[in-house]
Amino acid sequence: MTAIWGILNVTPDSFSDGGRFMDPDTAIARARMLRAQGAAIIDVGGESTRPGASRVPVEEEQRRVLPVVEALSADGIPVSIDTLNAGTAAAAARAGARIVNDVSGGLADDGMLAAVAASDADFVIGHWRGPSGDMYARAQYGRAAREVANELRARVSAAASAGIAPSRLILDPGIGFAKAGEQNWEVLRGLDEIIALGHRVLVGTSRKRFLAEALGVDGSDAGGDAEHRRDLATAVTSVLAARAGAWAVRVHDVAATRDALAVVSAWDGE
């Protein structure tokens, strides 16, 4: 059964839920709700990676996320820390995070692989070609899924050389990262090429722009009907990712994806 990761962005500017969970108590209450809805992991992030987002000072990122990571971990809730910074990864692992989720797969911070190697945490390697500010300039592909798989394989080698055991690695195709519109669908269509690398695969499509484009809705209507439609689309991509063999999906609306996956289980007679 595909696991559900519930997104908890403790940021003022994430593209769909920015600003809602800045206060630690609100963030913790939200995480508990996502957990009750069926999230296996709560993915805590303190820096938005949306297209065009500017970087947050590492002290500010840690001020946002560490109290939340600590409180959830103390409560027995499995936490992953969504960060590009080695210092934040190390501090969050000390505070109890079980997984470091780096959308850059260690490319954004030279110290990341060593920091993860020195911890007990598992490591999500996201497919990435450069910072959010100009990532679309790097969205040039021949065969998108093949290239993503090859570039992930190179990061797996780098992680292994840094001393991270392969069993600790989770691969993520980095939907929306250095990929425009149709390229995201090409990668998802070829997800088996990434799964064939032999690691757990996490897929994050939730509320992303390429879904809004497929629906023909305006992505700016956060909290309104457009958001609801993107959540429904996300539940569908979660089902398709599960069918394709994904180990986990990372979503904002945990309840919708839980229900969608329950229907799949019923269909399959599980």
Interface with ligand PMM (CB under 6 A): 7, 9, 14-16, 45, 48-50, 82, 101, 103, 124, 126, 172, 174-175, 202, 204, 206, 250
Residue 103 or 261 with smaller CB distance to ligand PMM: 103
Task: Compute the least distance from the CB of residue 80 to ligand PMM, in Å.
Answer: 8
Is 208 among the residues known to form the active site?
A: yes
Task: Compute the least distance from the CB of residue 206 to ligand PMM, in Å.
Answer: 6
SS (H, E, C) the chain: CCEEEEEEECCCCCCCCCCCCCCHHHHHHHHHHHHHHCCCEEEEECCCCCCCCCCCCHHHHHHHHHHHHHHHHHCCCCEEEECCCHHHHHHHHHCCCCEEEECCCCCCCCCHHHHHHCCCCEEEEECCCCCHHHHHHHCCCCCHHHHHHHHHHHHHHHHHHCCCCHHHEEEECCCCCCCCHHHHHHHHHCHHHHHCCCCEEEECCCCCHHHHHHHCCCCCCCCCHHHHHHHHHHHHHHHHHHHHCCCEEEECCHHHHHHHHHHHHHHHCC
Task: Compute the least distance from the CB of residue 27 to ligand PMM, in Å.
Answer: 14
- Using Cβ positions, the residue closest to ligand PMM within the complex turns out to be 204
Is 179 among the residues known to form the active site?
A: no
Task: Compute the least distance from the CB of residue 251 to ligand PMM, in Å.
Answer: 9
Query: Which of the residues 208, 229, 243, 258 is marked catalytic?
Result: 208
Residue 34 or 268 with smaller CB distance to ligand PMM: 34
Residue 48 or 119 with smaller CB distance to ligand PMM: 48
- Catalytically annotated residues: 208, 250
